[in-house]
Amino acid sequence: MDKLNHLPPPHRPSVLQVGDAEHAELHAALRLLRETSSLTVVDHAEQAAAALANGPPPELIVLAQRRPGTVRKGDLRNLERLAPLAGVVWLLGSWCEGQARTARPMDGIKRLYWYEFPSWWARQLVRRGAGRCPEWARPEGERSDERGERTFRGLIAVSTADWESFAALADQLSQLGYAAVWQHPGGRPLTLSGVTAGIWDGGQLDEREETRLAAFCSQLARDAAPVAALLDFPREDRCRRALEIGAAAVLGKPWLQADLIDAIQQAVAPRSAVHHAADVTRAA
């Protein structure tokens, strides 16, 4: 992301953010957009409509919702009328988690919870910088996750409470070139070495899970292997606690495959760079 932070303004995507931008959960996304886009922020749909009526349309409209109901369907349709070529995504806080169960969300708009947004945004900037269409510029039916090369990338230790969850993760990891080994949270510690990274599958990170996550991170520390923790709709304090315990990244469930792989690769990259530098030094 550092290279993307320094894109000159003419080459940055133009973004209009509408809604609860300064709320604690959503503030990280706002900061990221300020660093990497040409951003306009307004509080209400009426202000957004005025901005669209008096200026050039943005590439993307981000609807920031701390709670359901911030933007009404009529407001959204008006924004789409004023900027028909702009993409639209929801940026959602934790209070929106039950929206899909208790009410019908607006169709045709990508929903991104606050903890999903940074990884998704980084991928779209990479696509855009490479001359490919970001997701917001593509029809919903054409969207797909990018897959890496199917060469062997390493061994992933996966800590899950049941075999079915491990098998689902292992299957997706294998498609991307990773081998996987299962570690039951209450079972014997892993004895193998050479682990590239770990995935720890948890819930709300209660005290018992804190102990198990700490033990898993400690096991993988001997290989300096970073751990990605999966939590059920994580709150800000739970994310912070997981990182304090030793996790390198925290993702919410339901997780996206691309987000999980990005988290692992970004965590592994610094270690790979150190090993490469050491190899070069020895060779010299």
Q: What is the pLDDT of residue 74?
A: 77
Q: Are 227 and 246 in contact (CB under 8 A)?
A: yes
Q: pLDDT below 70 — which residues of the chain?
A: 1-10, 21, 69-70, 98-108, 138-151, 187-192, 267-284
Q: Are 43 and 1 in contact (CB under 8 A)?
A: no
User: Quick check: is 1 in a domain?
Assistant: no
How many domains would you assign to the chain? 2
Structure tokens at 214: 């700490």
Q: In 10 A of CB 195, how many CB atoms?
A: 20
User: Quick check: is 62 in a domain?
Assistant: yes
Task: Map tokens 């409470």 to a residue.
Answer: 161
pLDDT (tens digit per residue) in 55-106:
888 999 999 888 776 677 777 888 888 888 888 898 988 877 765 544 455 5
Q: What's the domain range around 169?
A: 154-276
The enclosing domain of 138 has a CATH number of 3.40.50.2300
Task: Record the pTM.
Answer: 0.54
21 plus 137 within the same structural domain? yes
Sequence-separated (6 or more) residues with CB below 8 Å from residue 152: 177, 178, 179
User: Quick check: is 203 in a domain?
Assistant: yes
What spatial distance separates the first Cα and last Cα of the chain, rounded to whole Å?
Answer: 31
50 plus 109 within the same structural domain? yes
119 plus 192 within the same structural domain? no
36 plus 117 within the same structural domain? yes
User: Quick check: is 4 in a domain?
Assistant: no
